[in-house]
Amino acid sequence: MADRASGMLIVVDVQYDFCPGGALAVPDGDAVVSVVNRLSGRFPHRVLTQDWHPAGHSSFASSHPGKSPFETTWMPYGSQVLWPDHCVQGSPGAAFHADLDVDGAELIIRKGFRPSVDSYSAFFENDRTTPTGLAGYLRDRGFGRVVLAGLATDFCIAYSALDARRLGFETVVVTDACRAIDLDGSLASAMREMVAAGVTLSVSETV
């Protein structure tokens, strides 16, 4: 029981397409790798998430004639940002960064594999109701605390943190172990929403 007290470190989407040179590069995205690996020394239990889209996924602008990347469109489940093609299943861009400590992870959650629904959160698809199974996995194993790191702060990290709070987990985001896309103020609003929802913002030295 005692070793569960530190919680589950959830390492979100540290994949080549979100690193400089990738299809949906997050500025300075690869800087999280060394911070996450250092955190891994203090968190014996780790889950990785992997954005994992089929070719032609509905979140890709290329699937919507006349639309450009970073425009917003309407999906049956709500508003959706359209992205450049990224993290296509099995492609080099979908691979984890080679320096990321992958072998020590206890579970890899793949998300975004349903052609018609995007999935930012580690817990639910963007319809906010289809579960990935992660909440059940954590509960079955007796974890009540999740610590989030990775990419991107204002999308997959924020959605995961808000869902974790909604599900009743103690939730920490390690801000220096994350980097943001920051589309039209999305970072500021994500930070505001996380704080309002009771997410603890921490830094890697003290978490």
Residue 13 binds ligand VGL (CB under 6 A): yes
Interaction partner, residue 30 (Zn ion, ligand VGL, none; CB < 5-8 Å by kind): none
Among 17, 51, 125, 154, binds Zn ion (CB under 5 A): 51
Cβ proximity to ligand VGL: between 123 and 155 the closer is 155
Residue 163 binds ligand VGL (CB under 6 A): no
Cβ proximity to ligand VGL: between 8 and 81 the closer is 81
User: Could you tell me which stretch among 92-100, 139-147, 149-157, 162-170 binds ligand VGL (CB under 6 A)?
Assistant: 149-157
Cα torsion 167, 163, 20, 65 to 10°: value is 140
Residue 155 binds ligand VGL (CB under 6 A): yes
The DSSP output letter for 65 is T
Largest CA distance in the chain: 55
Residue 122 binds ligand VGL (CB under 6 A): no
Q: Is 156 a catalytic residue?
A: yes
First to last CA, the chain: 19
Q: Which is the catalytic residue, given 13, 85, 154, 163?
A: 13
Pairwise CA distance, residues 92 & 2, whole Å: 39
Residue 174 binds ligand VGL (CB under 6 A): no
Sheet strands (E) in 13-134: 46-51, 72-75, 78-81, 107-111
Residue 33 binds ligand VGL (CB under 6 A): no
Query: What residues contact residue 32 under an 8 Å CB cut-off, 6+ apart?
Result: 14, 149, 150, 151, 177, 178, 179
CA-to-CA dists, residue 115 to 50, 57, 58, angstroms: 16, 5, 6
Binding site for ligand VGL (CB under 6 A): 13, 18, 51, 83, 120, 151-152, 155-156
Chain positions contacting Zn ion, by CB under 5 A: 51, 112
